[in-house]
Homo-oligomer: A and B are copies of this chain.
Amino acid sequence: MIPKDKHLHGIFAPLTTPFVDEEIAPDHLAENISHYNRFDLSGYVLLGSTGEAVYLDDDESVILVKAARDSIPSEKKLIVGTARESTRGTIRFTNRMARLGADAALIRSPGYFKSRLTPDALALYYERIADESNIPVIVYNIPVHTGYSLTTETVLRLAVHPNIIGLKDSSGNLGFVGEVLNEIPNNFAVLLGAASILLPGLMMGVSGAIITLSDVAPEHCLRLLRLFHDQMWEEARRLQLDLIPLNKAIIQTIGVAAVKYALDLTGFYGGPCRSPLPPLNKQEEDHMRRILEKLQLIEA
């Protein structure tokens, strides 16, 4: 559990879900985590988009979260993606994850009936969940998947709830992030979901980030954070720009399959995605290799 007065800080890695022959492979997840534990990451997110959560059933989710919990030392946080489309479904799954030791729930706003989900309906959705959840809630704004953005007003209303501790924003819109930062109470954290703007986001006042880039390049992400704290602006700027091509490939152009491909090349277990996500073609593999070489994540 994460008390509301203790901010979420630093870099959190949203982990991939390892599959072998389309079956979940919790042992590979545990191995990956023990590798990641060497880095100064603040914690992990299980069952996020990067984890192909929409392809997992509840029982698989339980097995994966158990395996993760056992592999994560107590000083690192375990955040779990628990969104279902219905309020009651989300509450039940959140509390199931709470019983397995999740420290907080990351909850994507519902999208299916979006034309009917007024700001008030969305706020009520989160408030009811936060009221009944046994772990703190992080609101998750991800327009590329839901088809709309939460409004500043909705976030500010939710920020005063005692069991809602933060916002993850993956809109890529720092203007929106700035509006939120301008008015939220001190005990409410804003985490960035877009690694291409990590440095600018830190500059604006976010307290940390949940970024897939840290799955592939954890040291680079952590170094960027340190450069920011040490006010090494020019080095920070240079590193931020250098990281953009890798981030673009794993988020925008190719997606999760590219993350897994990169993991396979860098000592982690990547493996295939579940169908219908296609594997990389030859051209995409070459593109990924060039990018990873340039960042010295693999040898040329």
A194 to chain B, nearest CB (A): 7
- Contacts A147-B147, A237-B204 hold; do A88 and B178 have CB atoms under 8 A apart? no
Is A1 engaged at the interface, CB distance under 8 Å to the other chain?
no
> Mask for A28-48, Cβ within 8 A of B = 1, else 0?
000000000000000000000
Question: What does the 1/0 interface line of A279-293 toward B look like (CB < 8 Å)?
Answer: 000000000000000
Question: Taking the complex as formed, is A186 at the interface, i.e. its CB lies under 8 A from any CB of chain B?
Answer: no
Give the segment of A158-166, A169-177, A264-272 that binds chain B: A169-177
The secondary-structure label for the interface of chain A is helix
On whether A276 and B125 interact (CB within 8 A), knowing A86-B54, A172-B173, the answer reads yes
* Residue from B49, B85, B240, B254 in contact with A178 in the complex, judged by beta carbons closer than 8 Å: B240
Interface residues of A in 228-247 (CB under 8 A from B): 231, 233, 237, 240-242, 244-245, 247
Complex CA gap A254/B115 in Å reads 8
Minimum CB–CB distance from A287 to chain B (whole Å) comes to 13
Name which of A3-11, A68-76, A195-203, A216-224 contacts chain B: A195-203
Distance in Å: Cβ of A68 to nearest Cβ of chain B? 20
Tell me if A197 and B178 are in contact (CB < 8 A). yes
| Nearest chain B CB to A178 CB, angstrom units | 5
Q: Would you call A20 an interface residue if the criterion is a C-beta within 8 Å of the partner chain's C-beta atoms?
A: no
Cα(A116)–Cα(B275), bound, Å:
11
Number of interface residues of A (CB under 8 A): 62
- Give the CA-CA distance A142 to B297 in the complex, in Å: 36
Residues of B within 8 A of A247 (CB): 175
A121, B88: Cβ atoms under 8 Å?
no
**Which residues on the B side are within 8 Å of A278 (C-beta)?**
116, 118, 120-121, 124
Q: Is A110 part of the binding interface, using a Cβ–Cβ cutoff of 8 Å?
A: yes
Closest residue of chain B to A120 (Cβ to Cβ) is B278
Q: Which of B89, B118, B231, B257 interacts with A233 by CB under 8 Å? A: B231
Assess the A174–B203 pair: CB atoms within 8 A.
no
Is A175 touching B203 in the complex (CB atoms < 8 A)?
no
Q: Is the CB of A57 within 8 A of B89?
A: yes
CA distance A276 to B254 in the complex (A): 31
A85 to B53, CA, bound (A): 10
Of B117, B201, B257, the contact of A200 (CB 8 Å cutoff): B201
Give the complex CA separation of A299 and B22 in angstroms: 54
Chain A: residues with CB nearer than 8 A to chain B? Answer: 22, 49, 54-55, 57, 85-89, 110, 112-113, 115-118, 120-122, 124-125, 128, 145, 147, 172-175, 178-179, 181-182, 194, 196-197, 199-201, 203-205, 231, 233, 237, 240-242, 244-245, 247-248, 252, 254-257, 274-278
A-B contact pairs, 9 of them (CB 8 A): A22-B88, A54-B112, A55-B85, A87-B276, A115-B255, A179-B245, A203-B233, A204-B240, A204-B241
